[in-house]
Structure formats: structure tokens, C-alpha cells
Amino acid sequence: MSESRVLIVKIDPEKCQGHARCHALATELFELDEFGNARVRGSGQIPPTLEDRAWIARANCPELAVEIVEQAKAPD
Amino acid sequence: MVVRESDYRVNSPPITSDPPDHRPMRMVLIPPFTPQAVARLEAKARAVCNELIDRFVANGMCDGAVDYAQTIPVLINSQMLGIPAQHGDQFREWITMALQTGVTDEAALRQAEEAIAAYFEVQIKPRRENPGEDLVGFLIAARSPDGEPFSDRQVLGALRLLLVAGIDTTWSAIGSSLWHLATHEQDRARLVAEPESIPTAVEELLRAYAPVTMAREIAKTADIGGCQLREGQMVLLSFPAANRDPGKFPDADKVVIDRKHNPHAAFGLGIHRCIGSNLARMEMVVALQEWLKRIPVFSLDISKPTTWSQGTVRGPRNLPIRIG
């Protein structure tokens, strides 16, 4: 990935059923609402140090609700 | 696999209801079962596990299913529901009638259902005046999204569901996990040395020994994988088989105690995802952590019979363990 690209994590709220696996595996990236459904913390931009855990969270979602997309970095 | 025509149904919403009826009761029931809510029961679960271990650890042996696994969810659910812990034996009897005898004996199933309903009717009555802090009171005080209280029938159905669904499933999962560790020396030693790996191991034990197979009614005639299913038929959804799908999991039949990619279906998928999944996970993690702390070395006692449940919930019912 080039310097000008970033990875963004997203949750599809239509697919999320509250298994909460993403939150258990990468608490820094995901939080839970009052019904235990997951949402992304902040903008969803994945710091390089958390990339591995973001992919693991994605791989462990039984509903395939976690997506990781590459985006152009916002200009500084 | 088609098991029978749906001539008899136990109505326990929301587990048996379809949209749009499903969501209102589900959303009311969910908050006490989120990870954040369940975390408040963790200290109680640890105390329960240690009290149970205190009773048998000095004997050098125990029945891991009877003396440990089955009692943990009974005591935690009693605490949540706000009913006396000493009623636990009664619950176990009804659950056995409903889920084991009841698989082939319709009269036993009905008798258990009626006994559970009668029990909760007695529990509901005083809470109509004073709901208190427990789950029975919470359901009585709860309102649907349109502001209506739930009917006695709905509250009873939900309570019966929490009792039946929450207990023998979790006891089976804890029991199967202990069976695995009693028969797999390396995995046991690894979790003793690395207790921080226990939550990951619990997911793999759930995958490999998924305790629940769910029965569902076909809502619309369809062809699934070449099998004609007619509206009204009952089918079994085998989560244990899905969890060993070689197309989804490499080495699917092998327990890989630190498996990293594990999107298993032990708690079902979609809108009926097991509402108690976070509670069950907490109980399993705590049960294994406390056991391995106190009993790091143990094995299956093969001089005595290990027995397994019959029916749609799978787990050991007698698990003779030698300690040390």
C-alpha cells in the first residue's frame, strides 16, 4: 500500500447480529451499542499497528459484517 | 434432515417468531445479555466455580459434568432471574424432561413445559406489585416499542426460553471443553501455561463441540442443496456440521486450540443469533480459567463410563475425572 492510501474498517449494520467477536478481538477499533451491536470507533481508519487485528476481526465475524477498504488518504 | 411435520410447537418468542413479531421482544431481552451487562456477573461466576471446586478437589476425583459443568449455568441463571439457587435441582429435572426424555416422549415434553409455566406464574405474581431488580421483574416492567406491556403469555414464554435454552447448552459446552482437556494433554498444558489463550481456545472448543442443533419450521417451500423442503416441515440446522465444513475451516476435524480464523456458527446465524452467547462465553472462559488454576493436572478416568446426552443438545452427562 502506498503512503497516500489508508485502510478503513466498516461494519455493515444490516448484517451485524451482535456476536461481538470484533469487539473482543480488536477493542481499539470497535465499540458496542446498548444492544451489543458493533460499530466502528471514530473514523474507522486503521493505524498500522492494528492492521493485523483488524484482519483477524474481519475473519472471525460469522455474519461477514466487517469490511476493510483501502481509501485515498485525506490531504493533510 | 426432515424430522417431523410440525404438528406440535412450543411457542417461545422470540426464538420461534418471524419478523415483524420477532424484533420487539428480542430488543427488550437483549440489553441484559450484552458483553457489558454480562461482565457484571463475572465475579459471581468465579465465586461459584471456586465453591464447586472446593467441594471435590480434595477427593482426587470428580464427575466434571455433574459436579461442575451443570451447576455453573444453573446458579448464574438463577441469580439473573432472581429465583432461589436451591431451586436449581428442580430446573435440571425439568430441562432433562424437556430436552432429553422429551425428544421421543411428547407427554414428558408437555409435562415439563407445564411445570415450568406453573413455576414462573408463581414467580411473576409478587413482581406485578414490586418488580425489583431481577430479570423476571425487568420483563414485567418492560414495554414494547409501542408502549404496551408484554402479556403474561409472552413473559412466560421468554422466561421459559431463558431457563431451558441457557442451562443445558452451557453445561454441555463446559463439559465438552473439560472432556477435551482431560483427553488432550498438550492442549491442557498449553492453556495452563498461557491462560490468556483461554478465550481463543473457547472459540475453538465451541466450533469443534458445538452443543446445539436447532430445529426450524420451513416457512416457504424451497430447494436447498438439491433437497425439496415443503412449507410446514420441520428441519434440523446442524451447527456442529457447519462448524466442521472443510470448505470453511482448514483441518476442520482437528481441534486447533489457537485457531486464528474462526467464524463458527455455534450460536447460530442471522436474526436468531443466540441471545445468551455472551453469557455462555463468559461462563465457559471463567469455568476453564478457575478450573485450570486450581486443577492444572487432570485426566479422564477410563475405569468409569463417560456418557453423552441424546437429543439436539450435545455434551457429556457423566465425565469421570482423575485429579492430579
- CATH code at position B62: 1.10.630.10
Give me the domain span that covers residue B300. 12-183+261-323
Which of A23, A59, A64 faces B35 most closely, judged by CB atoms?
A23
Res. A59: pLDDT tops 50: yes
Domain membership flag for residue B178 = yes
> What CATH topology corresponds to A5-72?
Alpha-Beta Plaits (3.30.70)
What's the pLDDT score for residue B159? 85
* Yes or no, beta carbons of A24 and B199 under 8 Å apart: yes
Contact B115, B128 (CB under 8 A): no
Res. B3: pLDDT tops 70: no
Domain spans, chain A: 5-72
> What is the number of other CB atoms lying within 10 angstroms of the CB of residue B11?
14
Least confident interval from A6-20, A45-59, B185-199, B224-238: B224-238
- Is B34 near chain A, with CB under 8 Å? yes
Q: Considering chain A, what is the average pLDDT of its residues?
A: 94
Least confident interval from A47-51, A70-74, B232-236, B264-268: A70-74
What's the pLDDT score for residue B1? 38
Domain membership flag for residue B312 = yes
Domain membership flag for residue B29 = yes
Which of A18, A23, A60 faces B262 most closely, judged by CB atoms?
A60
- The H-or-E segment that residue B178 falls in is helix B152-183
Higher pLDDT, B96 or B254: B254
What distance in Å separates the CA atoms of residue A37 and residue A16, rounded to the nearest whole number?
7
Domain membership flag for residue B319 = yes
Instruction: Kindly report, residue by residue over B128-180, the tens digit of the pLDDT.
Output: 888 888 888 988 888 877 888 888 888 888 888 887 788 889 999 999 999 99
Highest mean pLDDT among B23-37, B83-97, B158-172, B295-309: B295-309
Instruction: Kindly report, residue by residue over B259-270, the tens digit of the pLDDT.
Output: 999 999 999 999
Rg of chain A taking only CA atoms, in angstroms: 12
Q: Provide the number of CB pairs (under 8 Å) joining chain A to chain B.
A: 55
Q: How confident is the model at residue A1 (pLDDT cuts 50, 70, 90)?
A: low
Least confident interval from B113-122, B140-149, B219-228, B278-287: B140-149
* Yes or no, beta carbons of A60 and B277 under 8 Å apart: no
Res. A34: pLDDT tops 70: yes
Domain membership flag for residue B60 = yes
Domain membership flag for residue B278 = yes
- Is B149 near chain A, with CB under 8 Å? no
What's the pLDDT score for residue B101? 81
ipTM over 0.90: yes
Question: How many folded domains does chain B comprise?
Answer: 1
What's the pLDDT score for residue B229? 94
What distance in Å separates the CA atoms of residue B144 and residue B161, rounded to the nearest whole number?
18
Higher pLDDT, B269 or B116: B269
Q: Is B225 helix (H, G, I), strand (E, B) or coil?
A: coil
Least confident interval from B90-94, B227-231, B313-317: B90-94
What's the pLDDT score for residue B23? 82
What distance in Å separates the CA atoms of residue B58 and residue A42, rounded to the nearest whole number?
52
